[in-house]
Structure 1
């Protein structure tokens, strides 16, 4: 569990409930390494960040004045 503590920042919000920690221990028992869990979480956080960036880009392009085709 030392690795879990060392990487608390990247997994903190995902494993706050006791159920999640129990699940993580279950995964560990069934040879699903904590490293894999952290990698999965990092990837999902990256995807979330990318999605947020895409949404922000959409919003900023929506604010640009529209080009009129009739002019």
Structure 2
């Protein structure tokens, strides 16, 4: 198995921080937020032109989706 590159580790930490922020903001369990975030990230990752914006964009979509009644 190839070791994780520095950029990948930094990206992973940014996504993890976004998930934790959403948990606090929405007062929902980590499992629910993580599942929604991972699903949205997988869809957006393929079309994103600027990967650095993914944590922000994915967080917005997840927050909007989970706030719906």
TM-score bracket, normalised by the shorter chain, equals 0.3 to 0.5
Report the TM-score when normalising by structure 1: 0.37
Instruction: Using structure 2 for the length normalisation, give the TM-score.
Output: 0.37
More helix by share: 2
Name which one, 1 or 2, has greater alpha-carbon Rg: 1
